Amino acid sequence: MDLELQGKRALVTGSSKGIGEAIARTLAREGAIVIVHGRDRESAERVASSIIAQGGQAHVVIGNLTQDDAVERLVAEAETLAGTVEILVNNAGGSGGVKESWENTQLSSWSSAYDRNVLAALRVTTRVLPKMRQTKWGRIINISSLAATLPPPTGPDYSACKAAMNAMTASLAKAVAADGITVNAVSPGTIRSAALEDRFREVAKERGMGDGDLPWKEIERAVLPMFAQVPLGRVGELDEIANMIAFLASPLAAYITGINLRIDGGLSPSL
């Protein structure tokens, strides 16, 4: 299927690794001009160079999304390098690496998480939105999490931030619908990453499954039920997230806006 993304200009925040990298690569394969963003230039350049080597078009911008002036600079640089941003994927953010419980959660953690996730997305969005409205076309996709609708007992700051992103998505979608702009959220469930695979192999080793060096499918089958009851019986792959985002970013998805699309293998118990 031709997604009609040829020549579309896409800024993917936090795309120097993980889900963001997969999104950037997929959009580039579909013909989009991708602006790779990160805080580490070497990592971002690696992704962009790989995209270019495979026949795609990519540029790099660097900046801390928790700083207003840095966001101003990187958006201006993106526009200089590629032109007006037509597709924005707000992927940067995350839990920060420390999962707190309600016994030790700190106000500072909530503030930092909100800045890193919600306000970071807001800073970039408000800077690219005016030109989208002028051209009467745009796609904004916010990477949320299943934790927003199925919050676990730990990491309450992260769950609350992603819930806020869902609300932001619904509100903005209504505000810009008449301008030809769609705004959607995507909530990944349990997705295979280097960190997740390392953790699964560590658990497998603790459970006596050799040195954790068994084939991935065996590790996945044995360890996944300890983490999540996924009806499909496996974790999701990065490309499965990226492919759906590419569709939402395309002209073919023009009548889809204001949704939170869960990609979780059936883990969520509700529609």
What percent of the chain is modeled with pLDDT above 70? 100
For range 132-155, the mean pLDDT: 96
What is the pLDDT at residue 229? Answer: 93
pTM of this structure: 0.95
- Is pLDDT of 95 > 90? no
Closest Cα partner for 100 from 156, 36, 57, 167? Answer: 156
Which of 117, 157, 158, 249 is an active site residue? 158
SS3 state of residue 259: coil
Distance, CA of 184 to CA of 36 (rounded, Å): 20
Active site residue 158: yes
Q: Where are the domains of the chain?
A: 9-191+236-263, 192-235
- Is pLDDT of 54 > 80? yes
What is the pLDDT at residue 7? Answer: 98
Which residues make Cβ contacts (< 8 Å) with residue 176, sequence separation at least 6? Answer: 129, 132, 133, 138, 183
Distance, CA of 177 to CA of 257 (rounded, Å): 8
Where does 9-191+236-263 sit in CATH, by number?
3.40.50.720
What is the pLDDT at residue 160? Answer: 97
- Is pLDDT of 210 > 80? no
What percent of the chain is modeled with pLDDT above 90? 92
For range 226-231, the mean pLDDT: 94
For range 13-25, the mean pLDDT: 97
Write the DSSP assignment of 233-251 as a string of letters: SS-B-HHHHHHHHHHHTSG
For range 163-168, the mean pLDDT: 98
